[in-house]
Every structure is written in structure tokens, then in C-alpha cells.
């Protein structure tokens, strides 16, 4: 069974909804369970479905990842209007995935527990640099922590929380038509290009 929407293809594989065809998805699932017998089904689904729409860990990168997340969310809602999904962002907010909402799986953002490193990568210097941490909450990405490079004053993305967002919340109740305007095959190409 498969469904297509918004340039994405989705496959139903062993209770999962995957962006991989069944044989590849099952192989990945087997591999994950072999290495981590305690892994939960939603974690397997989320891992299989992860995408890197960009590798830019900057504000611009976060915007691109956000646009991709919204396209993916719109496609999921269109393909499976009766199912509930959680969109997941991690890895500096630029790795995007999803899983089916289920009891025991997170639905709200998770703050990092480790202290920040003393240095972080500065996109402008192209080096790890010391930084001055920004103390105000970012309005555009409230789950992102920013600093200013002490060498060049460039904005630096220090880290992000793990972001878990119900698709219904991400899209809002009335944004379907706007999101669906983006339906074309380009996204399919784009998605495959960034697959790991």
C-alpha cells in the first residue's frame, strides 16, 4: 500500500508510515532493532523517516528546514487525513522526521540537559569560536539557542531543543490550501537528494 501527496510517496510497512519502500524500510528496522533491542516502534519509524533538507546550521538553514517540515506535514495530512502525526526536528533543527502519534511518545519539545560547549561553530569564521550567549528568547524559533561570535559578532546557532509538534498544530486548522499550493514533483527530487 502506498499513497502520494505533495511530491512525497508514503508506504505502509508493518504499522509504520514510511518514506521508504517496504523492503528498504524493513531492512532498516531490522538493523535498528538488532543494535538496540529496547528501541520503541515510534523511534524506529522516526529514524527511518529522517531527512536532511539542508546542512546549514544557520537561521537561513532553519527557515529552509521549517519550509520542508511544513510541506511534509501538509503531504501527510493530505495522504492520511484520518491519522495523527508528530513532526520531529533535531540535530540543530535541520533534521526533519515524523512518526504516528502514539501513547508514550513525546508531543512537546525536550530541552537539552547537557551544559553548552565553550566553543561553537561560527558559519562566518568557518571555525569553532568562543561566543557570547544570547539571553532573550528567539521569536522565530523559540527552541533555538543563539550566541554572538566573539571574533566576528556573527549570529551563531549554538543548539536547538528536540522539537515535537503535532501536525495539526504545525499546519493550523485553516492553512491546508496554502500548504497544498506547494504540491509539485520538485519536492520529491529535493527530498531524495538530501537522503542520507
User: Counting contacts by CB under 5 A, is residue 182 touching Zn ion?
Assistant: no
SS3 58: coil
Closest CA to 82 of 184, 167, 20, 178: 167
User: Counting contacts by CB under 5 A, is residue 154 touching Zn ion?
Assistant: yes
How many residues touch Zn ion under the rule CB under 5 A: the total is 8
Radius of gyration of the chain (CA): 18
Residues 99 and 86 sit within 8 Å (Cβ to Cβ): yes
Smallest distance, Zn ion to C-beta of residue 145, A:
17
Smallest distance, Zn ion to C-beta of residue 114, A:
23
Residue 71, H or E segment: helix 59-79
The residue (of 14 and 127) whose beta carbon lies closer to Zn ion is: 127
Task: Determine which residue in the list 117, 151, 169, 189 makes contact with Zn ion, applying CB under 5 A.
Answer: 151
Residue 16, H or E segment: strand 16-18
Angle at CA 189, nearest 5°, toward 187 and 51? 75
User: Counting contacts by CB under 5 A, is residue 50 touching Zn ion?
Assistant: no
Smallest distance, Zn ion to C-beta of residue 91, A:
21
Residues 48 and 99 sit within 8 Å (Cβ to Cβ): no
Task: Determine which residue in the list 32, 67, 125, 148 makes contact with Zn ion, applying CB under 5 A.
Answer: 125
Residues 185 and 7 sit within 8 Å (Cβ to Cβ): yes
Smallest distance, Zn ion to C-beta of residue 123, A:
8
The residue (of 4 and 154) whose beta carbon lies closer to Zn ion is: 154
Residue nearest Zn ion, Cβ-based = 149
Task: Determine which residue in the list 3, 59, 63, 124 makes contact with Zn ion, applying CB under 5 A.
Answer: 124
**Site stretch for Zn ion (CB under 5 A), options 4-12, 70-78, 80-88, 148-156:** 148-156
Residue 96 CA to residue 94 CA, distance in Å, equals: 6
Given the rule CB under 5 A, which residues bind Zn ion?
122, 124-125, 129, 149, 151-152, 154
Amino acid at each position: 500500500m502506498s499513497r502520494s501527496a505533495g511530491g512525497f510517496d508514503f508506504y505502509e510497512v508493518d504499522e509504520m508510515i514510511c518514506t521508504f519502500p517496504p523492503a528498504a524500510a524493513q531492512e532498516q528496522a531490522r538493523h535498528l532493532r538488532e543494535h538496540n533491542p529496547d528501541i520503541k516502534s515510534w523511534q524506529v519509524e522516526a529514524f527511518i523517516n529522517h531527512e536532511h533538507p539542508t546542512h546549514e546550521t544557520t537561521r537561513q538553514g532553519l527557515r529552509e528546514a521549517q519550509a520542508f517540515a511544513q510541506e511534509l506535514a501538509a503531504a501527510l495530512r493530505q495522504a492520511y487525513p484520518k491519522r495523527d502525526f508528530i513532526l520531529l526536528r533535531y540535530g540543530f533543527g535541520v533534521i526533519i522526521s515524523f512518526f504516528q502519534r502514539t501513547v508514550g511518545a513525546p508531543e512537546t519539545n525536550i530541552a537539552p540537559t547537557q551544559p553548552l560547549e565553550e566553543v561553537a561553530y561560527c558559519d562566518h569564521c568557518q571555525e569553532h569560536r568562543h561566543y557570547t550567549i544570547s539571553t532573550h528568547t528567539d521569536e522565530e524559533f523559540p527552541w533555538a539557542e543563539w550566541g554572538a561570535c566573539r571574533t566576528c559578532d556573527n549570529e551563531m546557532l549554538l543548539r536547538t531543543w528536540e522539537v515535537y509538534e503535532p501536525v495539526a498544530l504545525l499546519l493550523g486548522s485553516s492553512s491546508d490550501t496554502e500548504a497544498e499550493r506547494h504540491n509539485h514533483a520538485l519536492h520529491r527530487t529535493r527530498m531524495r537528494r538530501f537522503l542520507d
